[in-house]
Each structure stands twice: as structure tokens, then as C-alpha cells.
Amino acid sequence: MADNVVADEGTGGATFATDDIGGVHYPITKLTFGALDSQTIASSNSGASDAGTLRVTLATDDTVTVDNGGTFAVQAAQSGTWTVDLGATDNAVLDSIAAGFAVEGAALGSGVLLQGDDGTDRTNVLVDTDGHLQVDVLSGGGGGTEYDEDAATPGTITGTATVMERDDALITLTPAAGDWAAMRCSAEGALWVQDFNSDAILADTASMDTNLGTIAGAVSGTEMQVDVVAALPAGTNNIGDVDIASLPNEGQQTMANSISVAIASNQGALDVSGATVTVDLGSNNDVQGDVAHDAVDSGNPIKIGARARTSDVTSVANNDRVDLIADKAGKVVVMPYALPENMIDDQSTNTGTGDTALFAAPGAGLRNYVTTIIVSNNNASSDTELIVKDGTTEIMRIPSPAGGGATINLAVPLRQPTSNTAINTALTGSVSTVTVSAVGYTGA
């Protein structure tokens, strides 16, 4: 049969909602609640509380089981005993907590024990015998380490800063002898200290000041006034210039029996014809020129000599003094231009107008000097010119005909204008190939 029935099928009455189960109609009814002459349809929301939610009052002499399947709201106005049956997992957690409290409580008595969590373990919060909470100051209160007297000092000492009381002028303190007193410092933060013998030093300083004042009274301008308080001794007494009445011995004597004299710088010739005179120059017994190096030239020149050699001498260390060498006829051997260590030579290959390095930059304050350039044009049909540059600036141009070249020996070395700059070469056109060889040296 179909659901629902009509109240009066013949006249077409109202239809009532039913559920046909096996030929039997079960009426379908909406639940409402409220006072007389009013009604509120019960809400169908699941888990929500609104005006249509049907309230349920539990009997005080009954129990109800609430599991974890939903939310059970408890009103504060309710009274009586509520028995809540937790799930197995929740009961296990509570049992573990209770067991932990029981272990600690067994020694400390009843009550709730306060614990802390360091991120890994739980630890009881400690108090002293008076019940004061123990607190460790990990920072801000000083991290100093206490050391025993007469113990070895560690390599690195950890300590706290000392704070002093500022006292610009020292005065007698209120604390008596044997009391603790704070250290004092000046306005600049310097610790006030007193020498153990300061009282004696102050007394001596006062006495020195008195004595110095007495001496100052005897000074007139830059001269000390001296009073002769007794008669001069009998005999000849010279005051001021002293004349030598006689020499201890006549003629030339030993140093022990002679009076040392200084020869005046404007004295004429000294007559030493009667004896041989030995002059001791002391530490100045070396012969030196009259004019120092880098001073203005003056006076007559002194001749110099050289060692006659048929072979080189053994090389010495840098900055050692050496002998000049000459051939057996006295002609001095001269190395042209520069020291061998400063000589340079190099070769480059040019094929076009781009720059090719010939000599690298010599270093700060130095320049390249060119004494010889050899240019060889290996192309049999193309003439060109070689451009020599100071960096990128042209300083010389050498013709290089096809299949030919040029050898330039400079009587005066070519000194590049710019210090610490490379010497480069380039061609006036593309030619394959121009070889450039050069010899020179570096100098200021």
C-alpha cells in the first residue's frame, strides 16, 4: 500500500502523513513543545543549540554515560553527583598522572605537587626548608666564579664588574673600624687609593717645599748668590780666569806627564819637526770625503782606484760594498744602461690593428726603456707599419715593407712617458705575420 491516508476519501478530506509498513499505517508526527496555547517546533539541527532545541532534565537519582562521540553541555546550576565514564585512552592518561603524584606524594604528604617541564622530562619544583621557592639566576645577576685562595689562576676568568660610589672629595665615613664600607671613585671613575706611607710622604713633601723656597731666595736672575763666610786661605788665589804658572815638565812627555790641549780650528801650521807626532782619531780613524752623498758638491776631488782584473770577481750579496774593476790598462769596466737583473727582452707576433703586449708594466714608479727593436714582415706582398705604444698612446712608428723589416738600435734608449704601464704594438693594417723583438731595461 502507499504511504499517507485521507481522512474522508468520499468527500476529499485532509491527508495525514503516514509510513506504510506491511499494510499498517504509522502516523508521522512533528514534535513540539511549549506552554498552553503556544508551541515551538523542535529543532532538527545536530549538535547545535537554538530556540528549538529540546531541553532534557536528568534525574538526580540516576546516572548517564557520556562517551567521546559528541559534546555534553553541563549547566552551572545543576547539582548532584555526575558520573562520567571516560574512554580507555583517557582513563590510561589520568591513571599515569595519578600514579606520578602518588610516588612524589608518598614522601611529601597529601596535596597537589607542582612540576615543571624542560621540554623532555618532568621535574618537581623545589623549595627550601622554609617553603621558599628556589630560583637559579641564569643571566643578568653575574656569572662570576668563586676561586680558592692560593689556587692557580685559570687561562680565562669569569667574573662580575665592581660598582663603586662616586665621591669627588674624600671625607670621613660613617662606618666605624671593622665595618664594611663601599669603595669610592673619583668623578672620572678612578678608584681612590692611599699609599701605606702617605702620611710620611706628605710630611717629606712639605719639608722639601720649605727647603726649595730657601734656595729660590738665594737665586738672582740666573745666578746663585754665594756668601764667603770665612777668609780665603793664604797664598795665591785666583777667582775668575785661572792662569797656569808653570808646566809640570819641559819638552815632550808621556800622556801621564802632559796636559791635554785642543788645537784651535783657526790656528796656522803646527810645527812637528822636532819629533814624530802620533794622532789618535779614536772612532773617526777612517778616511772620509768632505761632502756626503746627495749634498751640494764642493772642494777638490779625491782620486779613486780600481782593481785590475782579467776575469769577473765573485758576486757579493745585495747591498754589499764592492770594488770597482778595470782592465790592466786602468780602463774601468762599465755595464751599459742598467744592472743585468733589470735587463728585459721579449718577442710578440702581430697580425692586425689590435694591441699586442711587448713589455709588461714594470711596477710602481718604474718605466720600460727600449734600446733595440727588430721588426720582420713575413708577408711577401703587403706593406705595413709597426706602431709602438705607451699603453694605448703612440710613441713610435716603424715602416715594415713586405718580405722585409727593420732593425732599430737607439743611441739614446726610448723612455716610455708613463710609469708602471705596458708597452704595446699594433699594425696599421691586417698582415700575416709581423714579428717584433725588443731589448731594453726597467728603471725610474
Residue 270 lies in a domain: no
**Could you give the CA distance from residue 395 to residue 426 in angstroms, rounded to a whole number?**
12
Phi, psi of 136 (to 5 degrees): -95, 125
Q: What was the pLDDT predicted at 53?
A: 74
Grid cell for residue 237:
788665589
Per-residue tens of pLDDT for the chain, all 444 residues: 688 888 776 777 788 888 888 888 888 887 787 888 887 877 776 656 777 676 776 666 666 665 555 555 555 555 666 666 666 666 777 776 666 554 544 555 555 667 777 777 877 778 887 878 877 766 655 556 777 777 888 777 777 778 888 988 888 888 888 898 888 899 998 998 877 777 788 788 888 888 888 888 888 888 887 777 777 777 776 666 655 656 555 666 676 777 777 777 777 777 766 666 666 666 666 667 777 777 888 888 777 888 899 998 888 888 888 889 999 998 998 888 898 899 999 999 999 999 999 999 999 999 999 999 999 999 999 999 999 999 999 999 999 999 999 999 999 999 999 999 999 999 999 998 999 999 999 999
* pTM (predicted TM-score): 0.37
Strand bridging mode 325-326 / 343-350: unpaired
> Would you say 181 and 173 are in contact if contact means Cβ atoms under 8 Å apart?
yes
Q: What was the pLDDT predicted at 424?
A: 96
Which run of H or E residues covers position 124? strand 122-124
**Could you give the CA distance from residue 199 to residue 206 in angstroms, rounded to a whole number?**
11
Residue 376 lies in a domain: yes
Residue 394 lies in a domain: yes
Q: Where are the alpha helices (DSSP H) in 217-314?
A: none
Per-residue DSSP letter, 378: -
Residue 383 lies in a domain: yes
Residue 230 lies in a domain: no
**Could you give the CA distance from residue 311 to residue 307 in angstroms, rounded to a whole number?**
11
Q: What was the pLDDT predicted at 62?
A: 65
Strand bridging mode 307-308 / 325-326: parallel
Residue 114 lies in a domain: no
Picking from 184, 203, 202, the residue whose alpha carbon sits closest to that of residue 193 is 184
Q: What was the pLDDT predicted at 102?
A: 47
Q: Which domain holds residue 353?
A: 340-443
Supply the DSSP string of 395-436, one letter for each residue.
EEEEEE-TT-EEEEEEEEEEE-SSTT--EEEEESS--S-EEE
Please compute Rg for the chain using Cα positions: 60
Grid cell for residue 190:
678612578
**Could you give the CA distance from residue 434 to residue 351 in angstroms, rounded to a whole number?**
6
Q: Which residues pair with 434 in a beta bridge?
A: 350, 377
CA end-to-end span of the chain: 126
Residue 346 lies in a domain: yes
Supply the DSSP string of 2-71, one letter for each residue.
-S-EES-TTTT-PEEPEEEETTEEEE----EE-STT--EEPP--SS---TTPPP----TT------TTS-
**Could you give the CA distance from residue 300 to residue 226 in angstroms, rounded to a whole number?**
55
Domain tally for the chain?
Answer: 1
**Could you give the CA distance from residue 19 to residue 2 in angstroms, rounded to a whole number?**
8
The CATH number covering residue 408 comes to 2.60.120.1330
Residue 422 lies in a domain: yes
Greatest extent of the chain over all pairs of C-alpha atoms, in Å? 188
> Would you say 435 and 378 are in contact if contact means Cβ atoms under 8 Å apart?
yes
